[in-house]
Each structure stands twice: as C-alpha cells, then as structure tokens.
Structure 1
C-alpha cells in the first residue's frame, strides 16, 4: 500500500477545518490587523526611529560590526521605539500568516475540482509558512543584537543578512502565487457564469 507523505497534508487539514464563511471571517479580521499594523504601527514608529538618521532596515542590511555598532549607538535615545517595532513585526507576521492561509483555503475550496490547479494555493501556503518563519528568525537575530549591543556575537550579523536574503527570495514567489491563485478563482467563476448563461441548443 502506497503511503502518502505529501508535504501538503497540514495545509489541506487547515483548509478543510473551516467552512468558506469561517475562512472569510478570518481573512477579513487578519486583513484589518495586517493593514492596521502598517498604518497605525509601522509608519509612525518607523518615522520616530528615522529621527536617529537610520532605520531598522539599515541595521538589517549592515554586513559588518562597525556599521551595526554605529547604528546601535544612534538608536540609543529611541531604543523603546526599536523594541516596539520588533513587537509590531511579530503581530504583522501572525496577521499575514492567517490572512494568506485563509485566502488560499478559500481558493482551494473553489479549485478542488481540479487536482492540478489546486496545487497552486497549496504551494502558496507552504511558501507562507517559509516566509513567516524566516521573517520571525530575522527579527529574532535583530533583537539579540540590540539587546546586547556591547558583546553580541558577530555571527548574528551573518545570520541576520542570510535570513533576510532568504526571506525576500521566498516573498518574491509567495505574493505572485497568491495573486495567481485569486486570478484562477475569478476565471473559474467567470467561465461558470458564462456557461450558465449560454442557451442550450
């Protein structure tokens, strides 16, 4: 008997755990959190941090200890804002996870009639897991660096840079995959409506 070892089983279980209505509600709530975190959290806090002359993006892109130390010294007067931004980042990660998972779950339910098309939202969910894990790790390395500015291990800089590069590589595939999945659902819905309106001869 062939054993199914598909990596998609966990995402299939998530999609099947709720109805379309449930996934829709989760998607709406997650979207509000996702956008709200950006508008009311990231934007004002980032502006406060940038008064130091640097941003957390500059820190994440620094490749040597001299550059990181310079930024950390500039961050000292506004370190509370830096810490707050890290906490908001985790909220953003959680909101994005549920938003993308719920949207893909809705797509999976609509494309369940085709074994090939349904692979697209399944792949999208796997990419979402990878991108959120990498984002969480990147944020974790940053926290370890600014929490111990005088004696953090230099290897944390390399880990931060590598994780950031890997995250953006995944994200460049993750977002188009979600877009493609939504387009497929709209096409299926459009064609089905067209078929219903076509008179039978």
Structure 2
C-alpha cells in the first residue's frame, strides 16, 4: 500500500499544484493544440508522405530489415515530410499529455472525498505517463532508423515494434478510463444537484 501511495504521490502533487480553473484553461489550450496538430499538421503532411506509396505507419508495422529497407527507399523523396511528421508527433504527445493530465486533475479534485473512486483518475494519470513514454520511444526508434538508413541497428526494428504494441495496449485502457472518470464526475454532480433541489423543496 505504501508503494502504491508513493506511485500516486507525484500525480497528486500535480493535481494540487494549481486550481481546477487553471487546469481547465490548460485542458482547453491542450485540446486546441491536439486538434490543431491533427488537422493542420498530420493530415496534410501524411498526404504528402503517402504519395510515395507508403506511410510512416507502414514503417512502424514492418517487422524485418527487408521490409524496412523497402519502405525507406520509397520514403526517400519525401524524407523532409517524414522528419516534420516526427516533430509534429512529439508536439502531439506533449499536447495529449497535458490534456489528459489536466482533465484527470479536475476529476481528481471532484472525487477527492470518495476514497475508492479517486483511484480512477490516479490510475488514468499513470496510464497517460506510460502510454506517452512508449509513444515517445516508438518515435525515437523510427527517427534513429530513417536518419541512418544504410547502417541502422536491426534491434531498432524490434524495439519499435515492442514500443508500438505496449503503447496501443495502454491506450486501449487509458481512453476508457478517462471516459469512465468523466461519467462518474457527471453522475456525482447530477446527484448533488438533485439532492440540493430536494433539500430546497423541503
């Protein structure tokens, strides 16, 4: 139990560092950045890359050196766009981190008096840290591969595949966890409103 508390302590400190209003502002700014990177960055840049016949996701899904080399050769004419996409990916990761952390911080403050329910946003924040870490690592392995196409270490392919697998496994739990936390907050707010209205009628 002490180890669990020690694990949650940093996220609790983050949640308590500023007011829920400030977390709300950070969430809005992060959401705008999150959507902006997708619409103004990922979509047009990915279209340019896909003109080569491949995409960066094809590279991330490749499991052998032969597959990777074939994709790298095809991507060579659009390598500037591939590099730009990697930069945008890190901005996307950062925006997603602050968006999820700020939302969970607001939820954490709302559920603070509920000993068991408060574990949900805390676990959600740990999942966010973990998924963003593996997303960053996956991006790093990809960068190390395409910046040294002639002599990259084959082990980078395995590291890339493993990071991608772990990332998506975490994300599949992370998003529903945030959704569940939001639903709980809405239910608690609605119940409080209903109770307050009932007291007023009495």
TM-score by length of 2: 0.96
Which segment drifts farther, 161-170 or 5-14? 5-14
Structure 2 residue 52 is matched with structure 1 residue 48: no
Structure 2 residue 150 is matched with structure 1 residue 168: no
The whole-number CA distance in structure 2 between the counterparts of 1:86 and 1:63 is 20
The whole-number CA distance in structure 1 between the counterparts of 2:4 and 2:63 is 43
Which residue of the partner structure matches residue 120 of structure 1? Answer: 120
Cα distance, 1:4 vs. partner? 7.9
Which residue of the partner structure matches residue 105 of structure 1? Answer: 105
TM-score by length of 1: 0.97
Mapping of residues 1-201 of structure 1, within 5 Å: 5-199=5-199, 201=202
Cα distance, 1:147 vs. partner? 0.3
Q: Structure 2 vs 1, CA of residues 3 and 45 (structure 1 numbering), >3 Å: closer, same or farther?
A: closer
Cα deviations by residue, 1:60-82 (Å, 9 ceiling, x for unpaired): 00000000000000001000000
The whole-number CA distance in structure 1 between the counterparts of 2:75 and 2:169 is 28
Which segment drifts farther, 4-13 or 80-89? 4-13
Q: Structure 2 vs 1, CA of residues 193 and 37 (structure 1 numbering), >3 Å: closer, same or farther?
A: same
Structure 1 vs Structure 2 CA RMSD:
1.3
Q: Which consecutive residues of structure 2, in runs of 5 or more, have no partner in the other structure?
A: none
Cα distance, 1:198 vs. partner? 1.1
Cα distance, 1:5 vs. partner? 4.9
The whole-number CA distance in structure 1 between the counterparts of 2:76 and 2:4 is 53
- Structure ranking higher in helix proportion: 2
Cα deviations by residue, 1:22-45 (Å, 9 ceiling, x for unpaired): 000000000000000000000000
Q: Structure 2 vs 1, CA of residues 72 and 36 (structure 1 numbering), >3 Å: closer, same or farther?
A: same
Cα distance, 1:122 vs. partner? 0.4
